[in-house]
Amino acid sequence: MTDKNKQDPRLPDETFEPYEANRRIPLPVYWIAIALAIWGVVMLVQTSHSTLLADKERAALDKQDVAANAPVGAEPAASGKTVFNANCATCHGEFGTGSVGAVPPLANSDIVKAGGAKLIAQIAMRGIDGPITVNGTTYDGHMPNFASALDDKEIAAAASYVARTFTGAKDGVSAEAVAEIRKASAGQDPWAGGAELAAATPGLPAQPSAPQAAADMVQNADVATLVSQGAGSVWSCASCHGDQGEGTQTVPRLAGLPAAYIAKQLHDFQQGTRENDSMAYVAKALTDAQITALADHYAVMRAPSGARPSLDGDLARGEQIAREGDWSIGVPACFTCHGPSGFGVAPDFPALAAQQPAYVAHQLAMWAGGSRHNSPLGLMAGIGKALNDADRRAVADYLASLPPVPATPKVELTAMRSDAQPAKETTNDQ
């Protein structure tokens, strides 16, 4: 072997390999290395320091929370004023003035004077769905029922506060009486406007006649099957959203959402502009006609709230975000766009009241992260990003404490559909 490897020294050395002289590493490399090392140490020290601080802060906050919560829990019954301001004033106003053309006044209201605190409790327990005349003015009358949002003590306190403060009544109503009213109201539809109230309560001022009971919307047998049993390999709506469309956890409440909003979401699931594997699978199996029918089905559904604050959110902070907004972080009040008390404004702004808190917080986080991106003008992306995790939980919990939205009246939806009928062929294409 060695023989073969010997080379004729006259020939060029073919196995020659270039080599590099043993140069020193240039100074700038040292500079950068040392600067990075220093920076690393500084960062380590700083981070551990701020972690320590944050831990301390959190511990202090926890203590505060405990301290702040203790008296609230110990309070025997919420004061009527507090319950009224948190639940009723969003529509009726802090001074019970109502809102001209939309919400009847409570202050000096002839109905409140005639019926007293008991009538208020009866109304709160069932809600109203029909025209009502107060002090000579007739209002459309869509009021939610508070049966699933407030307990007997709270309803008694608020009803007594309204009667005493706004009409000077002497008597309130007791929590026991409210419990009786709750029993009697169980399973009842909302009061069909002032007419039904007047029939049940002697001495009320004249009321407009109740609207004709809406001819039940032609309930498509197809839709009933889709909702309750599913079709083919597609499971039913109710299997996740509940029999009454009330939702659970991260599955949203559908009852009472605007029909156009539900339809748009289903189309978005179909087309992939809203991402959710389960819903994409279901939506792709639906025809346009089925989507419209399902949207109508849920839009007119009145169902008790299935939501309770459950995310440990700060309700006061949530109420602030929902009603006033936090403009220091660029967040307007939820109710500025979603309507007073979060009833929604069709077609683009869905109802928020009584929505499942886990769903709301989850969607806000998805908007912040960009995995949900189908809101008009991308409005919700900016808002989702501006809220931090605690804010998202706070506002979701507050919205879950509200009474469910009074659903779109069947009469209105039927009218809307019959108006749209001639144009259907042209609007159906996407």
For residues 93 and 211, which CB has a smaller minimum distance to another protein in the complex? 93
Residue 177 C-beta: closest distance to another protein, Å: 28
State the burial class of residue 74 (Cβ atoms within 10 Å of its Cβ: 0-12, 13-18, 19+). Answer: exposed
Residue length, the chain?
Answer: 430
For residues 114 and 345, which CB has a smaller minimum distance to another protein in the complex? 345
Q: Applying CB under 8 A, which of residues 343, 359, 367, 398 lies at the interface with another protein?
A: 343
82 binds another protein (CB under 8 A): no
Binding span for another protein by CB under 8 A among 62-70, 100-108, 116-124, 393-401? 100-108
SS3 state at 103: strand
Task: Report yes or no: 110 and 82 within 8 Å, Cβ to Cβ.
Answer: no
Q: Applying CB under 8 A, which of residues 227, 259, 383, 413 lies at the interface with another protein?
A: 383
Q: Give 11's DSSP letter.
A: S
Q: What number of other Cβ atoms are within 10 A of residue 292's Cβ?
A: 22
Residues 389-408 that bind another protein (CB under 8 A): 406, 408
For residues 30 and 281, which CB has a smaller minimum distance to another protein in the complex? 30
From CA 301, how far away is CA 92, in angstroms rounded?
Answer: 24
Residue 410 C-beta: closest distance to another protein, Å: 13
Residue 402 C-beta: closest distance to another protein, Å: 14
From CA 182, how far away is CA 177, in angstroms rounded?
Answer: 9
330 binds another protein (CB under 8 A): yes
Omega prior to 409 cis, within 30 of 0: no
For residues 272 and 376, which CB has a smaller minimum distance to another protein in the complex? 376
Q: Applying CB under 8 A, which of residues 102, 184, 199, 415 lies at the interface with another protein?
A: 102
345 binds another protein (CB under 8 A): yes
Element (H, E) at 17: none
From CA 101, how far away is CA 41, in angstroms rounded?
Answer: 66
CA angle (340, 386, 84) in 5-degree steps = 30
The residue among 312, 388, 383, 390 whose CA lies nearest residue 352 is 383
Q: What track of x and - describes contact with another protein for positions 212 through 251 (by CB under 8 A)?
A: ----------------------------------------
Token pair for 240: 């996740």
From CA 172, how far away is CA 169, in angstroms rounded?
Answer: 8
Residues 16-75 that bind another protein (CB under 8 A): 16-17, 19, 21-24, 27-28, 30-35, 37-39, 42
Number of residues that bind another protein (CB under 8 A): 65
421 binds another protein (CB under 8 A): no
For residues 19 and 277, which CB has a smaller minimum distance to another protein in the complex? 19
In the chain, the largest separation of any two C-alpha atoms, in whole Å, equals: 130
Element (H, E) at 332: strand 331-332
From CA 140, how far away is CA 149, in angstroms rounded?
Answer: 23
Token pair for 241: 């959203």
Residue 277 C-beta: closest distance to another protein, Å: 28
Place of tokens 């109420």: 319
Residue 184 C-beta: closest distance to another protein, Å: 26
427 binds another protein (CB under 8 A): no
- For residue 143, the cross-strand partners are 128
For residues 19 and 66, which CB has a smaller minimum distance to another protein in the complex? 19
Task: Report yes or no: 386 and 354 within 8 Å, Cβ to Cβ.
Answer: no
| 3-state DSSP percent of the chain in helix, strand and coil, to 5 | 55, 5, 40
142 binds another protein (CB under 8 A): yes
315 binds another protein (CB under 8 A): no
13 binds another protein (CB under 8 A): yes
Residue 281 C-beta: closest distance to another protein, Å: 29
339 binds another protein (CB under 8 A): yes
Token pair for 321: 């975000």
Q: Applying CB under 8 A, which of residues 84, 139, 191, 367 lies at the interface with another protein?
A: 139
For residues 116 and 245, which CB has a smaller minimum distance to another protein in the complex? 245
**Interface residues with another protein (CB under 8 A)?**
1, 5, 13, 15-17, 19, 21-24, 27-28, 30-35, 37-39, 42, 91, 93-95, 97-103, 137, 139-142, 324-325, 327-328, 330-332, 336-337, 339-340, 343-346, 348, 376-379, 382-383, 406, 408-409, 412
